[in-house]
Amino acid sequence: MATKDIQVFGAGLSGLVSAINLAREGHHVTVYEKEKKIGGDLNCHPSIHMTPMHLQQMERYIGIELHSCFSKVQDFRGYIGPKKYIFSTKNLYVVERGPRPSSLDYFLYTTALDEGVTFEFSHSLTREKLRSIPDHSIIATAGYSRIVHALHLPYVTFKQFDMHLQTDHENVCLAYFGDFTSDYGYISMKNGLLSAQLSGPVNLSLERVHTFTNLVRETEGIELEKWSSIVSYFPKKARLFTKFAGKTFVLAGDVAGFLDPFFGFGVNGALLSGKIAAISIQSKQKALQEFKQFTSHLNKDLLVHTIYWHLPLKKLVLSQVMKFQDNHFSLVKRSIPGFTDEDWLKIISIKD
């Protein structure tokens, strides 16, 4: 295969996985990242993400050993309003994100350096630069970049509040559903770090954040403070390629719509889609085949999510769905790229 010069934009999960795979195939790969160093936007990182995952299958698929970064979730509690639920932790992992050496981003970055990938930091892809970058560049700039807008990809805008603090608890996750948001609030703990996130419509107010903060204090005795916020663009459609100014770009990660619309699980999809973006440089057809396999239900579910966002009485709808989840959760259970119905059902099965 001929050696190519390949440009990847965004040094996050999908960008790094594609860079590592392409460098291993002998290509000259340069990753352009808007931040000054690895670890993404400091408004939302360092953070701890929770993700459903088949770790070994994932390692095999993307060709990278990840297990030093992921820990199994030990305890996963949730609240719908004040009512407490204990969730199954099967197939659930926590992983650190951001700039610290203990993060997945840092691990993938050092792996990429070892493979000979070149990095250019403080280099932001903009609408103007989109015109001059080469055909078949890989765009992996995630949903909190205006690139989604510049590429004319249909999206829903939403707001995320994030904070982190130190903790003694490890591998614990908490999820909160209630009137304070149409999405949910969650907390994850690993590597001595607790991170909390509340997301919802773009008009999600600080008052709602205070309601969530109070609920967490009352239920778990945790004091959340010093929130920062970002606006994200959630694609309404999963797609691998997009055309711009007569060129074709390869999309990876969130910007490719490769994430579960209901709970925002994006780690799984970002890792998978980084590999698929790399495959596309050699074979467009094979990459499209893989992309379709992993996203077969996603486009419908992205649409359902958009409708769900505008539903009144979400808490009521959600508690009914939880009650009858064995029979009625079919809309949600398929939407994590790489997961079958059965796997997803095991994850959401409620013990009590």
Ligand X SMILES: Cc1cc2nc3c(=O)[nH]c(=O)nc-3n(C[C@H](O)[C@H](O)[C@H](O)COP(=O)(O)OP(=O)(O)OC[C@H]3O[C@@H](n4cnc5c(N)ncnc54)[C@H](O)[C@@H]3O)c2cc1C
Contact residues for ligand X, defined by CB under 6 A = 9-15, 32-35, 40-41, 44, 47, 49-51, 124-125, 140-142, 145, 147, 160, 162, 188, 197, 253-254, 259, 264-267, 270
Judge whether 216 and 196 are in contact, CB under 8 Å.
yes
Choice between 72 and 328, CB closer to ligand X: 72
Please calculate the CA angle 286-93-260 and round it to the nearest 5 degrees.
50
Choice between 320 and 340, CB closer to ligand X: 340
CB of 48 vs ligand X, minimal distance in Å: 7
Distance CA 11, CA 305 (A): 28
Distance CA 225, CA 23 (A): 42
CB of 45 vs ligand X, minimal distance in Å: 7
Choice between 15 and 178, CB closer to ligand X: 15
Nearest residue to 29 (alpha-carbon basis) of 58, 9, 1: 9
CB of 230 vs ligand X, minimal distance in Å: 7
Burial of 220 (C-beta count, 10 Å sphere; 0-12/13-18/19+): middle
CB of 327 vs ligand X, minimal distance in Å: 26
User: How far out from the chain centre does Cα 23 lie?
Assistant: 24
CB of 208 vs ligand X, minimal distance in Å: 17
Choice between 142 and 276, CB closer to ligand X: 142
Choice between 50 and 112, CB closer to ligand X: 50
CB of 39 vs ligand X, minimal distance in Å: 7
CB of 351 vs ligand X, minimal distance in Å: 21
Choice between 231 and 316, CB closer to ligand X: 231
Judge whether 190 and 170 are in contact, CB under 8 Å.
yes
Q: Backbone phi, then psi, for 217, in 5-degree steps?
A: -65, -45
Burial of 201 (C-beta count, 10 Å sphere; 0-12/13-18/19+): middle
Choice between 140 and 348, CB closer to ligand X: 140
Pairing of strands 70-72, 92-97: antiparallel
Q: Enter the tokens of residue 111.
A: 């792996």
Judge whether 44 and 144 are in contact, CB under 8 Å.
yes
